[in-house]
Structure 1
């Protein structure tokens, strides 16, 4: 395994640890993964449908609110791509999310809802390992690429109108 490939694997492990912490509602584990130090105030997150939140304190507060108000969440990551350049790494992926509401009757699971979010996660290498610097999630609103729109792009914007 080349050093670059090894670093990409470490970044992918940090990325998975981030999602695992959110799934478990483990705020302490998430605290360990989010960047601290001189760049702490540049940490940011965009949750789907939310405005940008800046600063480690606001970001952690948002995750605490999400964890407190989410009965069940599970992420199945697909299309994971990792790029490493020096002390910065970029991960793009699709979050296939399964969430559930409160149980309707004791002992029964509440209703489950699925959704797709495309995410960009930026990590920074520190002496403690790779730490999450930026998370941006955007809901997928379309089923696929509009072939006419793709043709317009391919033709420099001069499609068949």
Structure 2
């Protein structure tokens, strides 16, 4: 992958299409990689991370991500040739997960995610990813 944002977008493409091979191509091969899925403890090591994404993708019928608030910070800051990028975004998720198969309805949700991508052999790969749900609070005047 030629840019941090390219590997970031391909990650979501892999999840949306259930492409296990694409997902595997995006991660650094290292026992220290990590991933925190919504509401779970951290997973360590590329094999464990990829196994978890295979299970997630196999269990989801339809899912689509609309990313907002995407920000990229490269490290070291100000370097002309950075070797690390931190990408944060809001994931606006549309899914049919958990709904009746014959229903033409979708569920939505939001999460905030942070991905750390590193330069590996001239390209970029994911080192770590953490997603956390965003709680939608209802104020009394909203009810």
| Coarse TM-score class (shorter-chain normalised) | 0.7 to 0.9
Q: TM-score, normalised by structure 1?
A: 0.75
Distance 2:137 2:126 in 1: 29
Q: TM-score, normalised by structure 2?
A: 0.84
1:79-126, Cα deviation, whole Å (9 max, x unpaired): 000011121110000000111136633xx65x3110000000000101
Distance 1:121 1:143 in 2: 26
Q: Point out where structure 1 has 5 or more consecutive residues left out of the alignment.
A: 1-8, 145-161
Do structure 1's residue 13 and structure 2's residue 15 form an aligned pair?
no
Greater share of helix: 1
1:14-34, Cα deviation, whole Å (9 max, x unpaired): 100111111110010010001
Do structure 1's residue 126 and structure 2's residue 117 form an aligned pair?
no
Name the structure 2 match of 1:112. 106
- 1:11-160 matches, within 5 Å, as 11-36=4-29, 40-85=30-75, 86-101=82-97, 104-105=101-102, 109=104, 111-143=105-137
Q: Point out where structure 2 has 5 or more consecutive residues left out of the alignment.
A: 76-81, 139-143
Q: CA deviation at 1:142?
A: 3.8
Please give the root-mean-square deviation of Cα atoms over the aligned residues, in Å. 1.8
Q: Which protein has the larger Cα radius of gyration, Structure 1 or Structure 2? A: 1
